[in-house]
Structure 1
Amino acid sequence: MTSLRRVFAGFVICLFAIMAAQNVTAQSNDNGPDAVQKIELENAQNRISEWDGALDDLEQTITRDEVTNRFINDGRDELEAIHLGIVTLRDRAEERLKRFKTALGKLGDPPAEGQEEVPAVARERERIGQDIARVTGVIKQLELVDFRATELSDQLAGLARERFTRRILGRVDVPLDPGVWLTAWSEIVRLPSMVQARYANLEVDGQAADELAEIAPGLVLMTVIVIAALIGGEVIVLRYMPGGWKTVPQEDRVALISGTRFLFTAMVPGIALLIAYGILDSRQALLKGAMGDFIHQCFAAALFLLFVGAAIRSVHSPFSPALRRAGTTPRGARIVGISSLVVAVIFAWDMVLLQGATTLGTSLEIALVQSISNVLVISVLLFISSLGAFWVHDEKDRHEFWPKLERRSRRVLKAVAILMPVLMVLGYVALARFILENLMMGLAFLTCYWLLRGYFRALMHTYLVRPEPSEDSKTTDAVHGTLYFWLRVLIDVVMVTIAVPVAVMIFTDIAWTDLILAVQQAFVGIQVGGIHFSLRSILLAALMFVIVLGLMRFFQRMLSTRVLPNTKLDQGLQHSVSAIFGYAGICLAVLLAISAAGMDLSNLAIIAGAISVGIGFGMQSIVNNFVSGLILLVERPIKVGDWIVVGADQGLVKDIRVRATEIETFDRSSIVIPNSELISNRVLNWTLKERSGRGIIRIGVSYGADVDKVREILLEMADKRREILSYPAPQVIFMDFGASSLDFELRYFLRDIGDVIAVASSIRFELVQRFRDEGIEIPFPQRDLNLRDIDKLTDAIRDAGKGAVRSKPVPAPSVPDETPTSDDEIEHGADQKAAPSSSAKDISRDRDASGRDIPDAGGDPDGDAPR
């Protein structure tokens, strides 16, 4: 008993210990979120205080009118960072507020006046209310800071636009003032001494030296990668790549070579150059002051020259014109390519010199003279590049899209090349330079986009759409064309989605923050009634539709090429099963896409009702054909490969689609018949149940022929044909005693009714030769014509030809008598005798004329008189 009590006491102590531990854990869990929330609120308050201080400093600087261009740029960058931080913090606060409101809703409505609530519930309600009040206060503070930041951003943007407009539209008299040119030239001569005096004793020490020593290996590595990519890319592309794509079509081959060349000589070294700049930018002591701006401009010029130079070499290929992608002549490829490369070098050099002059503190005159000289040289080179003598003029492609775009672009380029020197002469140097900068950036951007687009299309067309041909491939050209079209659409959508934001950032003054907010708003979407529309849901729905449809088409192809051919089903039933599987896949893909888009599938009843109204008004024929197509696939009165006759049209069924059925006639033309006509009208199907069918050859022989011999020959002709079945056996039928022949029919059954015309033609060829050898005549209809009173008729015709005037009627000759030799001629004899011959009509007319004393028309009595 003592041992049992000890065991029981120990068990009770353990139980109390577990319960106490659970209480402590629950208290710690209850206090944990409060502590975390308190820390987050304190951090939010600290960040709001920092942002308020930064905004106060910006306001003070703006009010003192000490705003420089550098301050405007730095201030806008700082405001963008503040705005992004506010958006992030506000999203977190709104998410927490939503969670608190959900928890408060679970507690139910507060008690009415005079009622009491459970103390624990009341305390929880009070705590959640305090949390909601604190988070709401943080959100309101963030909105106030965001409002101040937006106001300051608008002020800085207004100042930037004002200064930009004043700078661009400013006019100087430099081009017409010789003194400015002399001053600038003397200062250009002193530039080497100025650089030597300023940077001869330059030493990097202290923190800058330490940081430079730390990043020196990385910079050297990036420099080696840039040089290796430039040299190795040219060698690989021009020496090894063309041989690997010999079997690729010429257009894809050139696109692949130029795109690979651009990737090796622009993308790879460009990424290495950006990494090197990022390494420098991460060290604050290295990129500061005027020297930092100069290094930044050098990197920008190098990156521009890298991309534009690679694009020009890939598009024009001046040193290997056979690989050019532009529509230039071989001579034009060299001239236009080299001119474009010189333009890119001058423009990049101008960027570096302009920033270098600002860093050295040179006068404004040298910068203006430099801008004028460079712009004039670039204008001349652009004008030369746009001349039509260096471009191919193909009349066949004159009205196509790309040739038309190329001609119009050259016209615009020629106009700009003429406009910039005119602006220079008038003194609008800044405006001309602004046009040149945007023109160069625009051409570089569009060229890179065009190169990458063609490269990805060629890759897809070479390795995805048209793989190496194989003899057992059952994929038709139509399938390849459809796949190629949708893959091209996908490439265009992806590239446009990436290129548009990049172009907005390059060519507009829209802040990065505003662009991110616009994208977020597009992805978040809007609420219209009970349906939520957003770009995210639309893209997800499209992606779901494409994936599901692709999987279903893959399984459909496997079903039609691997599974069904190994079954005992006939070809038509295999096609029906495959088509029904494809329609089911489309329906499934649509339903899943609608569900992924956020639409409630229960609303489909409303949509179906609306569609039914549309069907009642204007879609009856479409739905009729659709339902008829389903009936054709289920009942299978016709199948793919059947020989059918519909009205006056006949041919082989090639495809049974949802709306219509395609029939290929024996002339190799296609007839598209709506499915409703195949259901509602009579259709003759020669091969519905089986391929065998009967053929008939009709032939007639003369009355003197040996009929037994004829029967023997006909059966012999049928027995030696392998296409003709032995059972049922061929038959020779004596049909009738014809007007000119004895009529027979050779009747036989063929293994394949599709051979009926060829077999009948072959038998007829042999019958003709065999009947000739056996002396059997194949007669043709004969007719005997008997004429009475032929002498009187001859005299009447002679007198009528002389045109003599008769004083008394001349008896008309007898009408020719036709003795028919067949029953049809006997039946129509009365009609033939009632119609007088042409000679009898002439005699009757002369007799009437002589009776009325009509004078002769004159002329030679022995000649033909006009009547």
Structure 2
Amino acid sequence: MTSTSRFFLRALTALALSLFLWTAAALAQQATTPDYSAWDTIATRAEAMIDAERASDDRLETLRTQVADWREQFLAAQNANASRIQTLQAQINALGPEPEDGTETAEISEQRAVLNQQLAQQRAPVLRAEAAYSRADAIIGGIDRIIRERQADALLEFGPSPLNPVHWPGALQNVQTTFVTLWQEIVQNVSTPANRRAAVRNAPSVLLYLVIGIMLIARGQYWARAGVEKLRAGTRRGTGVFRFLVSLGHILLPYLGIVALLQAVAATGFAIDEWDVLLNKLPLWAAMLFGIRWLADQAFNKDDEVAALPLPAEERPKARRLSNLLAVLYVMESLVATLIELDGYSPQTAAVVQFPILVLSAFLLFRLGRLRNDAAMVGSDAAREEGAGDFRLRFAKLLGRITQIVGIIGPIMAAIGYFKVGEALVYPTIATLALVGLVMVLQRFINNLHELILGRQPDHSESLLPVLAGFILSLAALPLLALIWGARVADLTEIWARAQEGISLGDTRISPTSIIVVVLVFAAGYMLTRLMQGALRTSVLPKTKMDQGAQNAIVSGVGYVGVFLAVIIAVTAGGLDLSSLAIVAGALSVGIGFGLQNIVSNFVSGIILLIERPIGEGDWIEVNGTHGIVKDISVRSTRLETFDRYDMIIPNADLVSGTVSNYTRGNSLGRIIIDVGVAYGTDTRKAERILLNIARQHDMVLMNPAPAVDFMGFGADSLDFRIRAILLDVGQGLAVKTEMRHQIVEEFAREGIEIPFAQRDLWLRNPEVLADAVESRWSASQERDAQSGQSRPVARKSNAIMGDERVAEDGEDG
């Protein structure tokens, strides 16, 4: 498949997708009428629960979900009869304003009344939906307020201090009772004959799960490495990608083995209710342990390719150990919280049991934050020496400082009695570090994948794809980050609902759906425009008799028209009313008239250049004494490449309003002129024949019109001749002139013709007077030397002639 075919296929795909989304958005607007009677019942009950504030959080969340569904229906119902309402409003506007003096005819008045009545009938469902939407929105706001207040009260609740020794014996007794009860119940369950018979019946399943689990745990890493090597098939590119796949296999297959072992335990039927709860959560805890271990290996690996931070080689094992210990403590905290929930521990016992895990987690968090901060300082110093900064290092430095602060404040708040505050600081910070590490690892994987596909490093290819992928990963991590720090799922859905609601600009509502439709339709139109330009440039225009400049003008014109139509169609498909932008366009026209007049002038001049084509790409032109070749004509300026190989950007207005010399417009023919002089006394007829033969014998000189030699006149130093010749390519004029001048010198030397040069003879009047003056000056200087007692060498007579009375003391010229 050729590149043109692939491009055409992508264009059709984008167009089909945009049309599908456009149709889906249009169908979504045609919603059925909501059942307002049922809604009134639900809304009344919800308002009563909000006023009482006695319902549980789960009941409020369920009620909120129901009200949110109703609100979406009301939002869709607001667009009912939109086309009919727009048509009626246009008909009323066509009638014009009603005269104040009452001179309107009865027929027009009756028609206006009918239209207003129909408009009111069509707008009634819309107004009712808007009122119901406002009521639902108020109910949702009330439920969110109650839940947030309860969360804040629970977080800031002052509880028992875990450092109070009074609470320790009771906590120890409760923990001991929990484990003894679990063990006694499992022993009793195993000793029951019915359970034993059920275990014997399920023995094949248990054995199968055990074999699968053991094999995956024992051989999983080997299988992952062998499978990736087979997939790699000897290629040397994409080492980072295949290493990433191997690392995934190293944790995924053993994790599946753990899950198989848990299934084997569950298949025995010996577990009890509390053990079932723990067993159901074991896959999640195992996933946490394996996932953190994998992230630590990827972020702080032994090789030079480090996904998170460029730590020194000796510090990377420490970072991995700290990360794995934090994962273990995180799982232990979840296990203890589950036991507390199952057995209903008192607040005193819960604080005492969870406090050691919190303190250890905070200590390891502080150590890891200090390690990250030191690494960021080292990386920043290296980057500063190289004269460049690294955002990742600065971010790691900030994250390390925050982690250290949390590692100190968290245990202190828990020890005082604000245990929920300590937990809300320490454990979300651990989860945040894991999320940041995951984003960095995935971004490095995308860079390696880019290298595998294109065969070069992303930094060297200057590709925008890895940067965009990292940005998209960061955006995708924001909802997870919000959930980690206590946000509810309802908060995220509320943000999405507000985004779907959009914003109103006049009579137009802009929503994410309309924006997506606009972007996709414009992308499809732009791709079709580029496809048409490519077809014209490569297939259609080369078969015509138009020159290259005309072809480039047509291609550029098609591009401008296509982009303009793509914008209009995209805006219309998105449901945006351009008439509401009339005021904005009027305000912009004032700015265009003053501040943007040069830009508009250049734009219009660019259109004129493309239509009239006084110059074209590849033409040799002269502008303000500067010669060059036209390389590109855009809507604002023209790029001229001079013969000194630098680009000169010329505003299009200067080319339209100024004087431009085009040496190659229409064809490359051009005339050259060579001036030459011969000495007086030369046979002028002979010189003329020699010059004419030199011009005729050159390969670049046309014989129709034939070259000519003109006897220009009698100069001050020579007899002046001029050669006039038309060349096939005037761009070669300088080389032709140089060659012909060489031939002129050679032929004149062979024929004994002299090429004179300017000479001047100097004649002196009354030289005897000048000689007497020199002698008198010389005698005077000798008498002065005798009176002063000095003996000087003979000075130059030229010095005496020039009046210089100083005599050189070093005797340089005798």
SS at match of 1:380: helix
- Report the CA distance between 1:240 and its aligned residue: 5.6
* Residues 136 and 548 (structure 1), Cα distance of their counterparts in 2 relative to 1, 3 Å cut: closer
Letter in 1 for 2:771: D
- Report the CA distance between 1:548 and its aligned residue: 1.4
SS at match of 1:387: helix
* Residues 88 and 382 (structure 1), Cα distance of their counterparts in 2 relative to 1, 3 Å cut: closer
User: In the aligned structure 2, how far is the partner of 1:405 from the partner of 1:622?
Assistant: 40
User: In the aligned structure 2, how far is the partner of 1:583 from the partner of 1:217?
Assistant: 72
Post-superposition CA distance 1:74-133 (Å, at most 9, x none): x434432322223324555787899799999x9xxxxxxxxxxxxxxxxxxxxxx9xx99
- Report the CA distance between 1:698 and its aligned residue: 2.5
Post-superposition CA distance 1:213-252 (Å, at most 9, x none): 9999999999899979976666666886596463xxxxxx
- Report the CA distance between 1:711 and its aligned residue: 4.2
- Report the CA distance between 1:258 and its aligned residue: 7.0
* Residues 340 and 688 (structure 1), Cα distance of their counterparts in 2 relative to 1, 3 Å cut: farther
Counting only pairs closer than 5 Å after superposition, residues 221-620 of structure 1 correspond to structure 2 as 241=232, 244=235, 246=237, 291=275, 294-295=278-279, 298-318=282-302, 321-326=303-308, 328=310, 331=313, 334-335=316-317, 338-339=320-321, 341-355=323-337, 358=340, 364-388=351-375, 391=379, 393-395=381-383, 400=388, 403-407=390-394, 409-410=396-397, 412-414=399-401, 416-417=403-404, 420-421=407-408, 424=411, 427=415, 434-453=424-443, 455-456=445-446, 485=464, 491=469, 495=473, 498-509=476-487, 511-602=488-579, 608-620=585-597
Answering whether residue 791 of structure 2 is matched by residue 791 of structure 1, we say: no
Post-superposition CA distance 1:160-218 (Å, at most 9, x none): 32222236x986548xx8x9999999999999878645644455999xx99x9999999
Specify which of 148, 153, 162 is matched with residue 153 of structure 2: 162
Letter in 1 for 2:678: V
User: In the aligned structure 1, how far is the partner of 2:148 from the partner of 2:605?
Assistant: 65
Residue 261 of structure 1 contacts residue 310 of structure 1 at CA under 8 Å; is this kept in 2?
Answer: no
SS at match of 2:673: strand
- Report the CA distance between 1:539 and its aligned residue: 2.7
SS at match of 1:640: coil
Residue 186 of structure 2 contacts residue 272 of structure 2 at CA under 8 Å; is this kept in 1?
Answer: no
- Report the CA distance between 1:300 and its aligned residue: 4.1
* Residues 90 and 636 (structure 1), Cα distance of their counterparts in 2 relative to 1, 3 Å cut: closer
Letter in 1 for 2:520: L
User: In the aligned structure 2, how far is the partner of 1:215 from the partner of 1:41?
Assistant: 55
Letter in 1 for 2:157: R
* Residues 184 and 55 (structure 1), Cα distance of their counterparts in 2 relative to 1, 3 Å cut: closer
- Report the CA distance between 1:590 and its aligned residue: 1.3
User: In the aligned structure 2, how far is the partner of 1:499 from the partner of 1:96?
Assistant: 33
* Residues 366 and 578 (structure 1), Cα distance of their counterparts in 2 relative to 1, 3 Å cut: same
Unaligned runs of 5+ in 2: 1-31, 88-120, 788-797
Letter in 1 for 2:437: T
Q: Which has the larger radius of gyration?
A: 1
The match for 1:638 is 615
Residue 412 of structure 2 contacts residue 422 of structure 2 at CA under 8 Å; is this kept in 1?
Answer: no
* Residues 744 and 602 (structure 1), Cα distance of their counterparts in 2 relative to 1, 3 Å cut: same
User: In the aligned structure 2, how far is the partner of 1:238 from the partner of 1:803?
Assistant: 110
* Residues 328 and 77 (structure 1), Cα distance of their counterparts in 2 relative to 1, 3 Å cut: same
Specify which of 62, 71, 85 is matched with residue 66 of structure 2: 85
The match for 1:67 is none
- Report the CA distance between 1:534 and its aligned residue: 2.4
- Report the CA distance between 1:695 and its aligned residue: 1.8
The match for 1:739 is 716
Provide the alpha-carbon RMSD of the alignment.
Answer: 5.7
- Whose RCO is larger (CA < 8 A, sep 6+)? 2
State, as a whole percentage, how many aligned pairs show the same letter: 25
Residue 664 of structure 1 contacts residue 670 of structure 1 at CA under 8 Å; is this kept in 2?
Answer: yes
Counting only pairs closer than 5 Å after superposition, residues 813-832 of structure 1 correspond to structure 2 as none
User: In the aligned structure 2, how far is the partner of 1:625 from the partner of 1:291?
Assistant: 79
Residue 184 of structure 1 contacts residue 365 of structure 1 at CA under 8 Å; is this kept in 2?
Answer: yes
* Residues 430 and 238 (structure 1), Cα distance of their counterparts in 2 relative to 1, 3 Å cut: farther
Unaligned runs of 5+ in 1: 1-36, 63-74, 107-128, 247-252, 469-479, 808-836, 847-858
User: In the aligned structure 2, how far is the partner of 1:158 from the partner of 1:303?
Assistant: 34
Residue 644 of structure 1 contacts residue 652 of structure 1 at CA under 8 Å; is this kept in 2?
Answer: yes
Letter in 1 for 2:429: L
Residue 156 of structure 2 contacts residue 420 of structure 2 at CA under 8 Å; is this kept in 1?
Answer: no
User: In the aligned structure 2, how far is the partner of 1:774 from the partner of 1:593?
Assistant: 79
Letter in 1 for 2:489: W
User: In the aligned structure 1, how far is the partner of 2:83 from the partner of 2:667?
Assistant: 71
Residue 446 of structure 2 contacts residue 469 of structure 2 at CA under 8 Å; is this kept in 1?
Answer: yes
Scaled by the length of structure 2, the TM-score of the pair is 0.70
* Residues 682 and 434 (structure 1), Cα distance of their counterparts in 2 relative to 1, 3 Å cut: same
User: In the aligned structure 2, how far is the partner of 1:595 from the partner of 1:287?
Assistant: 64
Letter in 1 for 2:286: A
- Report the CA distance between 1:628 and its aligned residue: 0.6
User: In the aligned structure 2, how far is the partner of 1:594 from the partner of 1:441?
Assistant: 43
- Report the CA distance between 1:756 and its aligned residue: 1.2
User: In the aligned structure 2, how far is the partner of 1:221 from the partner of 1:97?
Assistant: 61
Residue 328 of structure 1 contacts residue 392 of structure 1 at CA under 8 Å; is this kept in 2?
Answer: no
